[in-house]
Structure 1
Amino acid sequence: MRKASRLFEIIQILRIADEPVTAARIARTLGVTARSIYRDIGALQAMNVPIQGGRGIGYMLRAGFDLPPLMFSIEETEAIVLALALLERTGDAALEQSAKRISQKIAAAVPPPLRQALAADTLHAWGAAARTGSGIDLAVVRAAIRDERKLAIAYRDEQGRRTERTIRPIALIYYPEAANIVAWCELREDLRHFRADRVESGAPVEVFFKGEGDALRRRWVSSWAVDRSVAETGAA
């Protein structure tokens, strides 16, 4: 998580808390060390964000401090809540946790009547979660897409054949049956889709493809028209 995003998240965590929150607890939520949180809180205090407390007792945000609000209608808010509920069907654990935090922030920000309506649990998204397997964390894939960083994966295709590949991930598609990683495959020298539940292992490598992601995505999108044309004409 980039520092700017982390500072914003710390403010939000403290904003919705009803008791002091320790640096260790914030660190666990954001996936960083407590030492980083101490530095971040010091930086926020230097920017005149009214954070009170200290090591060992926890931190709180002084009443009255707030960020500029986003104003949504009740229908818009319900659309967001339902979209967040649908994230549970992606099988992406990190996105599910982010959805819960967003729901808490929405509940803390909206007026009391709307907060009561959201708390009534009137919106639900049921259905089986997409299969992701345990070979790769989709949060790692999303970070690699953002950072334009290559991944080394071990992949087993539908015939059971196993290959070792280096890929340049450019997109994730969350189908009902499984999440698909869209990537340039250096083994095949072409764009390929990899079902996440067939990735047996995967990790980022210290090699980047900076500046190539947008061009690869444009190439991928342009292939959609070709695929549709083939389907319509019945060509093989």
Structure 2
Amino acid sequence: MTKVSRSARLFEVIQLLRNAKGPVLAREIAEALEISIRTVYRDIASLQAMQTPIIGEPGVGYVMREGYDLPPINFDVEEAESISVGLSLIARTGDPSLWRAARRASRKLHEAAPGTRQLLTSAWGVENVTKVNLSELRKAIRDERKMNIEYCDVEQQRTERTIWPLVLIYYVDAVLLMAWCELRTDVRHFRLDRVKKANLLSDTFLGQSDALIEQWEVEQKHNVVPMREL
């Protein structure tokens, strides 16, 4: 296993605590970062000595006080998105050490550009031809703007739908869009090569993405299609 530098490991500890919804045990940090519990205790003590606002103690768990920020990474939106997808694709190399390093890098990237959480890849490759403007679609996801699409299903039936674009998933033979469909009043997956027309609307669904994505993620845990999220 490739050894992670101490500074990178301290960053990871901070990230885990900042993203946690409650106290995190030293054992949980050790398992997540693949280090010993004794190392976790040393790292927490070092961070506290550097005035990092971590409170807690062994056996109880640790919490990061709200309002602690890290310096931003200077990527523009599309640069961050391209790096996020590229890091995801490293999973296909079969190199566990490289994949762990990619996950660490991705967590740092997500801190600077939270919207990259909404770009996923499968573990087996990406090939797709679509008439949809992917840059425009990704912006619609970030801005929580509705879209009107004309969709042709596997039986060649065409329907016009108003959708709320939520997540892009890059598979080996297609790019899928997960979206809330107003026609079906439910989450649906759309192959972009079957989208014949797509237009941005002025209507938005501001503030509703996170809850829909979380619900979808829970449902996907039982999906037989292997997917990896950074």
Alignment TM-score, normalising by the size of structure 2? 0.47
- Tell me: higher relative CO, structure 1 or 2? Use CA pairs within 8 A at least 6 residues apart: 2
Instruction: Decide which structure has the larger Cα Rg and report it.
Output: 1
